[in-house]
Amino acid sequence: MQVDLIVQARWIIPVEPASVIHENYSVVVNDGRIVDLLDNEAALQIYQPRAVECLDRQVLIPGLVNCHTHAAMSLLSGIADDLPLMDWLTHHIWPAEQKWVSEAFVRDGTDLAIAEMLRGGTTCFNDMYFFPEVTAQQAIAHGIRANVGLIVFDFPTVWAENADAYLQKGLALHDRLRHQALISTSFAPHAPYTVSDEPLRQVRTFADELELTVHMHVHETRHEVDEQRQKTGHTPLQRLADLGLLTSAFMAVHMTQLSDEEIGFYAQTGGHIVHCPESNMKLASGFCPVAACLKAGINVALGTDGAASNNDQDMLAEMRVAALLAKGVSGDASAVSAAQALQMATLNGAKALGLDAAIGSLLPGKQADLVAIDLSEVETQPVFNPLAQVVYAASRHQVSDVWVAGKRLLNKRQLTTLDLEELRGRAAIWQQRLTGR
């Protein structure tokens, strides 16, 4: 049988089945999909590939799924560091966005983020930001997979004047994008404290009708929870439940403030949690009780958040921090194993987005979203367990090659759809504008 590509790797970690590691194995790819996984010798006996890629120092994993981003905020990285969330938002980020966010800002910031994510092994990102049509356009242009958030606020911004306008523009964008192979959409109401009840009821109705997921910041800080309790006597999570939003299509981002009762209740809804450990630590927002959530049966995915509150979009680092933080917070060294951390960064993210039939693991029939990590570097020697080395020792600079739907987007550390020098030039121009130079 003739096929497009065989990728031979020193190790392959398919994620499904869990904890399996294949040695001297091949992934067979045709028409952008995985056809087979088998040992190198058998692959070349059974298939006639148009191309063979030999990665004899690399471990091959599924593409990483960054389940919560504000991609264009790459241009705001480092603009307001070492501040708590509400101070950071109200006195620095929102004023900067009000002054500078435009289609050009989102285009250039998204390109910068895509370059960073691809070079770090991320093949799919779940975004929430203004001008989502531009984010989608840039993702399509550069070949990365994206779930684009149809944002909703109560108040006017540069993208829309009120909640109804956000919803109508979002619905129109969903309709335009619904046939794009690499693009999906979610409703993305910003947070309980920025969206009132009636728009949230409409989000629920439209999401049900269109079978879309919903992506929202929830229980990010103690202040958010306390303020809602003082105003209504209920927590934000209770309010969302009363509005009918908490279903298996709901992604709650952050969730740093959870009681045992809330964990049990949320598990029953089938909702997902997107854990952003580095951003939460940097803003001193708190710790999501990941070990308890996983034990309760909640699907926990990983996200970096925006580069303005994290300063990078490095999913390998996020995996490591998530595993180590879960052990420290729970007091249990076995909490969140290396295998669980990798699953959180791949398959769990795909499940949260409703894309697990297509991505998140290396199984025949799934899309060929592949990431190769070179473990021959001295920092990851010796290799007793390649899975543990990926999670606990490897850095994003060891990502050598990336494919999305079988198309190579990173070739021996070189991006194939983006010009780094040109990107640096655009970033420098925005730096000058934002600093008033």
Is residue 372 scored above 70 in pLDDT?
yes
In this prediction, residue 15 carries a pLDDT of: 98
Q: Is 260 exposed, middle or buried (0-12, 13-18, 19+ CB in 10 A)?
A: exposed
The secondary structure of the chain in percent helix, strand, coil, rounded to multiples of 5, reads 45, 25, 30
Q: CA–CA separation, 132 vs 148, rounded Å?
A: 6
In this prediction, residue 88 carries a pLDDT of: 80
Mean pLDDT of 330-336: 95
Mean pLDDT of 155-165: 95
In this prediction, residue 86 carries a pLDDT of: 82
Tokens 């909703």 label which residue?
152
In this prediction, residue 143 carries a pLDDT of: 98
Q: Which of 1.10.569.10, 2.30.40.10, 1.10.260.40, 3.40.630.30 is the CATH number of 2-62+369-405? A: 2.30.40.10
In this prediction, residue 85 carries a pLDDT of: 78
In this prediction, residue 80 carries a pLDDT of: 83
Angle, to 10 degrees, between the axis of helix 103-119 and the axis of helix 132-142? 40
Alpha-carbon 92 to chain mean position: 24
Q: What is the pLDDT of residues 100-111, one digit of tens each?
A: 999 999 999 999
* Beta strands 407-411; 399-404: pairing state: antiparallel
Q: What is the pLDDT of residues 102-148, one digit of tens each?
A: 999 999 999 999 999 999 999 999 999 999 999 999 999 999 999 99
Mean pLDDT of 243-249: 98
Q: What is the pLDDT of residues 408-436, one digit of tens each?
A: 999 999 999 999 999 999 999 999 998 87
Question: Of the candidates 265, 264, 270, 253, which has an alpha carbon nearest to the alpha carbon of residue 292?
Answer: 264
Is residue 157 scored above 90 in pLDDT?
yes
Q: CA–CA separation, 226 vs 215, rounded Å?
A: 22
Confidence category of residue 82, pLDDT binned at 50, 70, 90: confident
In this prediction, residue 437 carries a pLDDT of: 65
Number of residues assigned to the chain: 437
Assess contact for 133 and 173: CB atoms under 8 A: yes
Mean pLDDT of 274-299: 96
Task: Kindly list the domain boundaries of the chain, sorted by start residue.
Answer: 2-62+369-405, 64-352
Q: What is the pLDDT of residues 342-362, one digit of tens each?
A: 999 999 999 999 999 999 999
In this prediction, residue 150 carries a pLDDT of: 98
Cα 102 to Cα 28, 76, 165, 204, 350, distances in angstroms: 42, 14, 17, 29, 30
Q: CA–CA separation, 386 vs 35, rounded Å?
A: 24
**Which homologous superfamily is 64-352 in?**
Metal-dependent hydrolases (3.20.20.140)
In this prediction, residue 11 carries a pLDDT of: 98
Q: CA–CA separation, 305 vs 222, rounded Å?
A: 18
Q: CA–CA separation, 408 vs 66, rounded Å?
A: 19
Could you give the percent of the chain with pLDDT greater than 90?
93
User: Where are the strands (E) in 258-375, listed by range?
Assistant: 272-275, 299-302, 370-374
User: In sequence order, what DSSP letters do the residues of 171-191 get, joined into one string?
Assistant: HHHHHHHTT-TTEEEEEEE--
Could you give the percent of the chain with pLDDT greater than 70?
100
Mean pLDDT of 295-319: 96
Phi-psi region of 436 (alpha: psi -120 to 50; beta: other; left: phi over 0): left
Name, in order, each residue with C-beta under 8 angstroms of 318's C-beta and a sequence gap of 6 or more: 276, 277, 278, 302, 303, 304, 345
